[in-house]
A = this chain, B = another copy of it.
Amino acid sequence: MKPEPQTDRNRLADSEPMRVHYRLYCAPDEDPGRKAAAIALEQTVELPADLLPEGIAGKWTGQVTLLEPGDDDDWQCCIAYPAAAAGSELSQLLNTLFGNISLQDGIRIDAIDWPDSMLSAFGGPAYGLEGLRQRCRVDRGQPLTSTALKPLGLSAAELAARAAAFAEGGIDLIKDDHGLSDQAPAPFHERLQRCQEAVTRANLRVGGNSLYLPNVTAPPQQLAERMQAAVNAGCTAVLLSPWLSGLDSVRWARDAFGLAIMAHPALTGALFRRRHGFKPAVLLGDLFRIAGADAVIYPNVGGRFGFSLDTCQQINAALRRPLGELRAAAPTAGGGVRLSDAGSWLDRYGPDTIFLIGGSLYAEGDLRAAAGRLRRALGR
């Protein structure tokens, strides 16, 4: 285990600011100018301007650089924050973005202009979409496939049998369901050993390159232990829910353990309210990618969750677009995608995508055959 991730205060000191683009919704008694100015103070110094010692205002507070009426009953607002205030820790970055104002109303973050200094401080994916392709030996121009081992309640041996069938069928990324942690029927360490071994053997049998991704989401001390165990067992990628274990845990997995990370959106949804929170593409796109996620799961339109097609395409774009020197991450469309629709989603989203299909494969009964059908539906 390497020592702690670097913080690089000095590099941030003379950096361009971080520009945060908000959409503000004002109550009848709220003035948009005051609301914007209050955010710029609340998220930095937490004092009224007239109580600031000399030399603080402007240097350490946010600066409102734009405020104009939007299309509807909203206001477009941009606040520039000193990069050095947000620090080089993701915990403090989240705090600067939405810590205290989460407790207010009518503030949505629509976009962030990231200074290069912050992008290079946080670093982004170590492997990214292309790195995952290489590990699974999937050519450029072809999509990747993923599925989830479930349900909770099965034994580790039963889950491993499912993993073997999926690997024989050629699923690239076979992950734990994110609700499998360390429960009695399939405790983490036993599940890790059995599933990794099952996938390795299946790969040998069929000449495949499937990866098993254990869910290492855990309290901080178990997190380190589980990531190390995953490395020791031969895993090269893991599943993490950054909102359950802290966003910095993604960087930790990357820097201290060299693992590729598939990030799960559990608990993030509370932030995706229409008039308060983040646009999903900022959080699941920018933030997860900057933190180091190589693949990011999101709930695809038409499944069990409420994202629109537009939101899904914005997430895809945020994970793939040029962003400093950061590698592109792999959008992972899940949450109710049906096997029968996989081909049409490929047409729509393109091959730089992971298609995560769980329930619809289980519904087929024969998991190996179902996996094969998924591959063929995706031209693999």
Contacts and interface: CB of A to CB of B under 8 A. Distances in A.
Interface of A: 3-5, 7, 9-10, 12-13, 38, 42-48, 51-53, 55-56, 59-60, 84-85, 87, 89-92, 94-96, 98-105, 148, 150-154, 158, 177-179, 181-185, 187, 217-225, 241, 244-246, 248-249, 251-252, 256, 265-273, 276-277, 299, 304-307, 335, 358-359, 362-363
Nearest to A106: B306
15 contacts: A3-B221, A7-B222, A9-B182, A45-B152, A45-B153, A46-B359, A87-B182, A91-B245, A95-B178, A96-B179, A100-B269, A102-B266, A104-B304, A218-B248, A220-B248
Contacts of A179: 43-46, 85, 92, 95-96, 99
A307 B305 CA distance: 29
Given A9-B184, A270-B277, A219 B99 contact: no
A269 B273 CA distance: 12
B13 A305 contact: no
A222 B305 CA distance: 36
A134 to B, nearest CB: 28
B219 A90 contact: yes
Contacts of A151: 44-47, 52-53, 56, 60
Given A46-B152, A92-B179, 12 more contacts: A7-B182, A42-B304, A46-B177, A51-B359, A60-B153, A91-B244, A95-B178, A95-B267, A103-B268, A219-B249, A220-B224, A220-B248
Given A42-B304, A95-B266, A55 B182 contact: no
Contacts of A9: 182-184, 187
> What is the total number of copies of this protein in its complex?
2
A266 B99 contact: yes
Given A153-B45, A273-B276, A95 B223 contact: no
A178 B99 contact: yes
B87 A183 contact: yes
Closest 5 CB pairs of A and B: A102-B269, A219-B248, A103-B269, A60-B153, A45-B151
Nearest to A307: B103
Nearest to A13: B184
B46 A99 contact: no
A103 B272 contact: yes
A191 B12 CA distance: 19
A33 to B, nearest CB: 16
Contacts of A220: 220, 223-224, 246, 248-249, 252
Contacts of A251: 219
Contact of A59 (B96, B153, B306): B153
B51 A241 contact: no
A50 to B, nearest CB: 8
A286 B181 CA distance: 22
A40 to B, nearest CB: 12
Contacts of A252: 219-221
Contacts of A245: 91, 246, 248
